[in-house]
Amino acid sequence: MLRKIQPVFDATDASGGKSLGDLPEWDLSDLYASEDAPELERDLAWLEKACADFAADYEGKLDTLDAAGLLQCIHRDEKISNIAGRIMSYAGLRYHQLTTDGGRTKFLSDCQEKITNFTTPLVFFTLELNRLDEDRLTAMYAENADLARYEPVIHRIRAMKPHQLSDELEKLLHDLGVVGDAWERLFDETIAGLSFTVDGEELGIEATLNLLTKQDRAKREAASRELARVFGENIRIFARVHNTAAKEKEVLDRWRKMPTAQTGRHLSNDVEAEVVEALRNAVVAAYPKLSHRYYELKRKWLGLDVMQVWDRNAPLPIEDTKTVDWTGARKTVMDAYSAFDPRMGELAQPFFDKGWIDAGVKPGKAPGAFAHPTVTNVHPYVMLNYLGKPRDVMTLAHELGHGVHQVLAADQGELLSSTPLTLAETASVFGEMLTFRAMLDNAKTDQERKVLLAGKVEDMINTVVRQIAFYDFECKLHAARREGELTPDDINALWMSVQAESLGPAFEFMDGYERFWAYIPHFVHSPFYVYAYAFGDGLVNALYAVYEENPDGFQDKYFDMLKAGGSKHHKELLAPFGLDASDPTFWDKGLSMISGFIDQLEEMEN
């Protein structure tokens, strides 16, 4: 059910009435001053002409270009990507601030349709690029070093060559893209408009999910049952969105002759399927020594015979439930970043000072958190739903890591700055680790240290175990959808098939938990995105081990890795650290850090 738009409330209301301080909001004027800004009209007009001119100058002629001509062509394409990206970033960010506002929704949709229409004539570019002779391209790289810079992105485009359709079909699919986007918007608007009533208080989804981390067990149970009830009332919408998105993907994959539903994601991530499979298998094999072992410890700490789903993210009984205000969160993260390297603090500072963060919880605002890079000649924007929980501090550290990474990679330009998802989580998870280690070093008592360690283990389990369980759910969902339409009960059963396996025997599952797949946005927006979190966590654990063993010169190598953006393959990026993600034992090294933290917690019990 969609809720009427209410006045924006102070995020402090959802955190027990304690003041969180002055929470920042975005200043989007670095993109455009308003939706009717003359600069926006100018850029739309420029884009329409630039696309038409590009098609007139290059369609059917790409194979006649020399190295200098191809470089100029790529530069023009890059400029078009920049202007289109600027417009869509502005429209998208405004929409995320208030997804239930009809005007913002219309503006986003209108921009998307205009840009789709303008850029349809450019579909030929990647198709003709894929038809160029490989030996001729190699010779042009050797002849022109500036062109050779773009070899990684051209290589990624040409990886799709075996899955390319006819020119006419590719144009049709390009035009139909806005239809698929409408299903994503239906999901977003439905989620943002949900209303939950817990103990007489009406809440949005972020504030309701936040109750699952409260000390009061009755409050956690009430929130869980209310989530289940409201998801149940809307389950047919969520099932329709998932069925449609999965079917659309199945049709595209079949036409493109993709061997699996996951292949497209692996190609876009520039990662080999066997590397992802090795990660998945290593994590699943480690469930007993990670999540199963930790939750058995937590069951004892909570004094329960069996844990319910509303206990999964419960604070420990010994945990101080204090609220961290915005000033405290900022200081914690900035101190940790600057202690690692002053350059890191300098890169993070403008996010706080210049309106690059939107932190408050507001009705209609998109749930969750993200860092959006916009375009390389502007800057990223970070979105949070900050409620003053210690985990919210870690979320700030995480998204700020993304932002720093995006700032550093911007010098690569529009086509090379974008990092494959598998590596995009590196700086974010590393930022979390820096913040956690700083907090652990400053712990004054064994009790405080235990709470911090337990919190970090839970975050890592959520990042690694939970996300791989999500990945397995998606694999099952897309495989099942290929056999026919899925009822809500069908999807519920797939969800439950991975939950007990990943969480372990310490848990019992309430009626209604089978519907909790409904609110996960990645399943709709970015199928199979979720393994990137586990990839990033394992990668960072291995990186941090290298840092601890040999800190000399690590910072420079780390900054070089972030500056590379998407210009290098993961094998090349990790080589300076002596790491190789294609080594089957690589993931065990990363998982051993989580296991080691659990060892420490077990030792504290003795």
CB 99, CB 188: distance < 8 Å: yes
Let me know if residue 401 belongs to a domain.
no
Q: How far is residue 188's CA from residue 182's CA, in Å, rounded to a whole number?
A: 10
Let me know if residue 246 belongs to a domain.
no
Let me know if residue 131 belongs to a domain.
yes
Greatest alpha-carbon pair distance for the chain in Å reads: 75
The residue with tokens 């144009």 is: 171
Tell me which of 149-158, 414-423, 474-483, 550-559 is least confident.
Answer: 414-423
- For the chain, how big is the Rg over CA atoms in Å? 24
pLDDT of res. 599: 95
Strands (E), 99-208: 196-198, 201-203
The residue with tokens 């600057």 is: 338
Above 70 in pLDDT, residue 132?
yes
Q: How far is CA 556 from CA 132, 418, 547, 561, in A?
A: 38, 21, 11, 9
The mean per-residue pLDDT over the stretch 255-283 comes to: 92
Q: How far is residue 457's CA from residue 295's CA, in Å, rounded to a whole number?
A: 10
Let me know if residue 135 belongs to a domain.
yes
> How many Cβ atoms sit within 10 Å of the Cβ of residue 495?
21
pLDDT of res. 3: 23
Specify the number of domains making up the chain: 1
Q: How high does pLDDT run on average in the chain?
A: 91
Residue 91's domain comprises 22-180
Strongest mean pLDDT among 4-8, 160-164, 183-187, 410-414? 410-414
CATH number at residue 94: 1.20.140.70
pLDDT of res. 606: 65
Q: How far is CA 131 from CA 45, 70, 183, 525, in A?
A: 31, 14, 33, 30
Let me know if residue 90 belongs to a domain.
yes
Let me know if residue 63 belongs to a domain.
yes
Strand, coil or helix: what is 442? coil
Q: How far is residue 133's CA from residue 91's CA, in Å, rounded to a whole number?
A: 39
Let me know if residue 168 belongs to a domain.
yes
The mean per-residue pLDDT over the stretch 580-599 comes to: 89
pLDDT in tens, 323-354: 899 999 999 999 999 999 999 999 999 999 99
pLDDT of res. 168: 86
Percent of the chain scored above 70 by pLDDT? 97
Let me know if residue 432 belongs to a domain.
no
pTM here is 0.82
Q: How confident is the model at residue 479 (pLDDT cuts 50, 70, 90)?
A: very high
